[in-house]
């Protein structure tokens, strides 16, 4: 390799929750002179990633327990591991870094067979099934939260807290200080749910806004992510209430809008919680209820325990409950400010730098 620069192979599945932290790490590694390759699945084939090369490796997520599903998953993971074994033997990385999910399994498993050092990054507050499968084989485990559940005692000695890497846009947004809304001033509300959560927000938030007092409704400006099929109904609801609003199926500048918000209502995926705490904004978090590992419940609990958010499980996420929370917060701007400070105190803006330190230290051994 030119100049002895280490080659770092990043392994991340084709979803934003895994690709975004990998991308943030790649940016830092490139700046430090490392060479970066990406191993991923077909979902990320067209994702613009700052890597020298992208290697597509077959993989599958375990979705069913029936014999056909198990056999298909095993075959795809097995063929992916064999392909990764050949790629790693050819490109000879100094270290392989995985970002969770089953697409991480073939590259990290192949790396362990090749004797290549490995780092596993767990973004959530509870270790996922795929990462638990790999934990005994990897060299080091980086954590997105200071507390990590479902970790075997043998793997705890490998843990290093780095935080969850955030995008450059988030780092810029984190420079914007929180200014509490005046008692009679505009109260900016940001609502989003991600690909699996926007529907419940469309069903619950507009009726909750309707239950607010007229004085609070008059102060609101709502920015809401909604599925394309729900946007007309959500907008019509706000129009009828006379509430200022902006609705769209996707916001490419979400961190900027997060920084402009007085209160955020969202799901609690690892990236969302990392960005919310890095920027330092109070949140009402509604964990995705059907996740097998209940990772979003744990993520929201970390920020709620720090005082930066209110966690509401979906069974209790009703228009009445949400209206009570918004009404109470609107009446006490000092509480919103305290929540913003608590969220900020639990955030880690330099997580990508910390993770790069760990990765390069492992590569140098």
Residue 174 CB neighbours (<10 A) = 21
Range of the domain at 272: 171-345
**Token pair for 328:** 């109470």
d(Cα 166, Cα 257) in Å, to the nearest integer?
Answer: 15
Per-residue buried b or exposed e for 315-329, using 16+ beta carbons within 10 Å of the residue's own CB = eebebeebbeebbeb
Q: What is the CATH number of the domain that holds 283?
A: 3.40.50.2000
pLDDT digits (tens, 9 = 90+) for 113-163: 999 999 999 999 999 888 999 999 999 999 999 889 889 888 999 999 999
Which of the four pLDDT bands, split at 50, 70 and 90, describes residue 27? Answer: very high
Q: What's the average model confidence in pLDDT over 197-209?
A: 92
Provide the sign of the torsion angle of the four alpha carbons 180, 221, 348, 200, taken in this order.
Answer: positive
Based on the domain organization, do 216 and 317 belong to the same domain?
yes
Which of the four pLDDT bands, split at 50, 70 and 90, describes residue 15? Answer: confident
Query: For the chain, what is the mean pLDDT?
Result: 92
pLDDT digits (tens, 9 = 90+) for 83-127: 999 999 999 999 999 998 888 999 999 999 999 999 999 999 999
Flag whether pLDDT at 1 surpasses 60: no
Percent of residues, the chain, with pLDDT higher than 90: 78
Determine how β-strand 159-161 pairs with β-strand 187-191.
unpaired
Based on the domain organization, do 321 and 218 belong to the same domain?
yes
Q: Could you tell me which of 283, 316, 98 has the C-alpha nearest to residue 204?
A: 316
Based on the domain organization, do 150 and 205 belong to the same domain?
no
Does residue 101 contact residue 78 with C-beta atoms inside 8 Å? no
Determine how β-strand 309-311 pairs with β-strand 53-56.
unpaired
Based on the domain organization, do 105 and 185 belong to the same domain?
no
Predicted pLDDT at 331: 95
* pTM recorded for the entire structure: 0.90
- The alpha-helical segments, DSSP class H, found in 92-188 are 105-114, 129-134, 153-156, 168-173
pLDDT digits (tens, 9 = 90+) for 290-319: 877 899 999 999 999 999 999 999 999 999
Based on the domain organization, do 143 and 220 belong to the same domain?
no
Predicted pLDDT at 288: 92
Based on the domain organization, do 141 and 232 belong to the same domain?
no
Based on the domain organization, do 194 and 152 belong to the same domain?
no
Based on the domain organization, do 185 and 313 belong to the same domain?
yes
Based on the domain organization, do 194 and 337 belong to the same domain?
yes
Based on the domain organization, do 40 and 129 belong to the same domain?
yes
**Token pair for 4:** 């002895």
Predicted pLDDT at 2: 44
Based on the domain organization, do 14 and 153 belong to the same domain?
yes
pLDDT digits (tens, 9 = 90+) for 38-83: 999 887 777 889 999 999 998 766 666 677 777 776 777 788 899 9
pLDDT digits (tens, 9 = 90+) for 322-364: 999 999 999 999 999 999 999 999 999 999 999 999 999 999 9
pLDDT digits (tens, 9 = 90+) for 250-299: 999 999 999 999 999 999 999 999 999 999 999 999 999 987 789 999 99
Flag whether pLDDT at 210 surpasses 90: yes
Based on the domain organization, do 142 and 203 belong to the same domain?
no
Flag whether pLDDT at 197 surpasses 70: no
**Number of separate domains in the chain:** 2
Which residue has 């900027």 as its token pair? Answer: 256
């Amino acid at each position: 390799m030119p100049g002895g620069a280490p080659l770092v192979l990043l392994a991340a599945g084709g979803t934003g929750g895994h690709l975004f932290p990998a991308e943030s790490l790649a940016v830092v590694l490139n700046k430090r002179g490392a060479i970066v390759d990406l191993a991923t699945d077909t979902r990320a084939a067209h994702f613009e990633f700052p890597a020298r090369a992208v290697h597509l490796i077959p993989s599958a997520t375990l979705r069913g327990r029936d014999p056909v599903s198990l056999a298909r998953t095993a075959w795809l993971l097995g063929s992916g591991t064999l392909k990764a074994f050949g790629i790693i033997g050819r490109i000879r990385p100094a270290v392989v870094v995985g970002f969770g999910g089953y697409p991480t399994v073939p590259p990290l498993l192949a790396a362990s067979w090749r004797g290549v050092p490995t780092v596993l990054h767990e973004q959530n507050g509870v270790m996922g099934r795929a990462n638990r499968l790999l934990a005994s084989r990897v060299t080091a485990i980086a954590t997105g939260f200071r507390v990590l559940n479902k970790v075997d005692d043998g793997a705890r000695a490998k843990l290093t807290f780095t935080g969850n890497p955030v995008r450059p846009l988030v780092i810029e947004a984190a420079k914007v200080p929180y200014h509490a809304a005046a008692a009679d001033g505009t109260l900016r509300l940001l609502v989003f749910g991600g690909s699996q959560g926007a529907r419940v927000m469309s069903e619950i938030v507009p009726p909750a806004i309707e239950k607010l007092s007229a004085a609070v409704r008059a102060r609101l400006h709502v920015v809401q992510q909604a599925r394309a099929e729900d946007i007309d109904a959500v907008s019509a609801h706000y129009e009828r209430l006379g509430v200022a609003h902006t609705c769209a199926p996707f916001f490419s500048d979400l961190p900027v809008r997060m920084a402009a918000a007085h209160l955020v209502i969202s799901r609690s995926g690892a990236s969302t919680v990392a960005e919310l705490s890095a920027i330092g904004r109070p949140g009402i978090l509604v964990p995705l209820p059907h996740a097998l590992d209940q990772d979003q419940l744990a993520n929201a609990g970390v920020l709620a325990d720090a005082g930066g958010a209110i966690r509401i499980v979906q069974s209790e996420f009703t228009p009445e409950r949400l209206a009570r929370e918004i009404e109470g917060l609107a009446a006490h701007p000092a509480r919103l400010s305290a929540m913003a400070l608590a969220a900020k105190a639990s955030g880690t803006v330099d997580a990508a730098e910390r993770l790069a330190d760990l990765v390069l230290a492992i590569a140098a051994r």
